[in-house]
Each structure stands twice: as structure tokens, then as C-alpha cells.
Amino acid sequence: MLDFITINEHSSIRINEGKVIYSDPYNISGAPHDADIILITHSHFDHYSPDDIRKVMKSDTVIVCPTSMNEPQELGLTVKQVSAGEQFEVLGIRFEAVPAYNIGKPFHPQSNGWLGYIIDSPDHGRIYIAGDTDITPDNKQVKCDIALLPAGGTYTADASQAAELANTIRPKYAVPIHYGTVAGNPADGEKFRKAVDSGIEVVIKI
């Protein structure tokens, strides 16, 4: 199920859309050097890891990141900085930037302008990578076919809250991420599955 999406671990995602898209590559095994586009949600070490980016990047890889991040310039690649709400195109693929932030937690302030992304795929529909976020007024408005949602708690929504977001936005498929290593525990995926409405297909990839 959703074989074109791989979760390395945590929030490290690889999507094969004809072009290979990574989001927040982290703890990458080997050095595949196959990334056409790399999406960075924010600057925390488990999301912006220069060492892991170097393992997947090519000379013509394009990095997309929030406007508040200048760190990717150090990698010597083309860098596209975007803001929440912006719609844009990279290598023929359309994207939308979605705000990602905490409510009642200090780790990801809305003022930092950190992001999730929607990939507009002609083959698979709208793929939402939520970034590090709680349930917010912004992401409750997302329309997508596939939602990859943080479920580990502490720094983001927990499994129950992530399921609540899935039940609100109602994608065809919901995939829990951001649990089992840096935050949360391996059981969070099943907690998420049990709390998601039966009309939504939950796909566990961690």
C-alpha cells in the first residue's frame, strides 16, 4: 500500500513521483544520491540534517525550505525559500506550503514560519506532509488524499490528536510519522490506527 512512499524513520520521508522527493532526510543508510527535490520543514536537527542531505543530494537537487531558514545555503545547491500559504512549482511538480506550529507548547512557535507541504501529484492526488505541528486552525482546512501526520506527542500532536486531525480533514489514506525514535514509542502507530475513523485507510510505514 502506498509503495511509492517510504518512511526511513521518524519524519524522514521519500516519495517517488517520477521525480524523487525527500522530506527531512534523517538517519539515511548508504548514500543513494537520488534526490531531485528535498523539502525541509524546519531547522531542528532531526529535520534539517546536512550530513543526511549530502547522502541523498545530487549536483542539481533543489532544496525547498521556510523563508526563516538560511542554513541550506551552505550546501551549495539551488535553494527555494517559501512562506506559509504559498503555492509554487519545482521541476514541474506543484506544491503548497502549510503552516506547522504548536499550540500550548514552546517547541515550534507559529512566529517561526515553519512549514508542512502539500505535493500536488497527477498520479496520487494531494499528499500532505504535516511537519512538526499540533492540530491548528490552518491544518484543519487542508484538503488532501494522503496525509502524513506526526503522532509521537511531546513536540507535536500525539497519536489521539493526530487521529482527530485525520478524522477532520478526511484523506483517503492516513500515515502516522514522527514516533518511535526521537519522540513517542513504536506503539503509537497502532494507537493512531485504532482512533482513526473506519472510512479512512491507515497505512503504517514505521
Taking only the tens place, the pLDDT of each residue in 184-195 is 678 898 999 999
- Per-residue pLDDT for 182 more than 80? no
For the four alpha carbons of 111, 113, 115 and 119, in that order, the dihedral sign comes to positive
CB 56 within 8 A of CB 25: yes
Residue 88: predicted pLDDT:
98
Which secondary-structure segment (H or E) carries 144? none
Q: Which residue has the higher pLDDT, 8 or 66?
A: 66
Average pLDDT over residues 65-84: 96
Residue 183 has pLDDT above 80, yes or no: no
pLDDT digits (tens, 9 = 90+) for 137-152: 999 999 999 999 999 8
Digit-coded pLDDT (tens) for 116-171 = 999 999 999 999 999 999 999 999 999 999 999 999 888 898 999 999 999 999 99
- Tell me, letter by letter, the H, E, C secondary structure of 22-71: EECCCCCCCCCCCEEEEECCCCCCCCCCHHHHHHHEEEEEEEEEECCCCH
Q: Which domains does the chain have, with CATH numbers?
A: 5-202 (3.60.15.10)
Task: Give CA–CA dist 138/73, Å, rounded.
Answer: 29
Predicted confidence at residue 61, as pLDDT, reads 98
pTM: 0.96
The predicted structure's pLDDT at residue 45? 84
Let me know: does 177 contact 186? Beta carbons within 8 Å.
no
Taking 80 as the threshold, does the pLDDT of residue 112 lie above it? yes
Report the amino acid identity of residue 153.
G
3-state secondary structure of 169: helix
In the chain, % of residues over pLDDT 90: 85
Q: Which percentage of the chain shows pLDDT scores above 70?
A: 100
For the ranges 3-7, 77-81, 184-188, which has the lowest average pLDDT?
184-188
Name residue, grid cell 503548497: 96
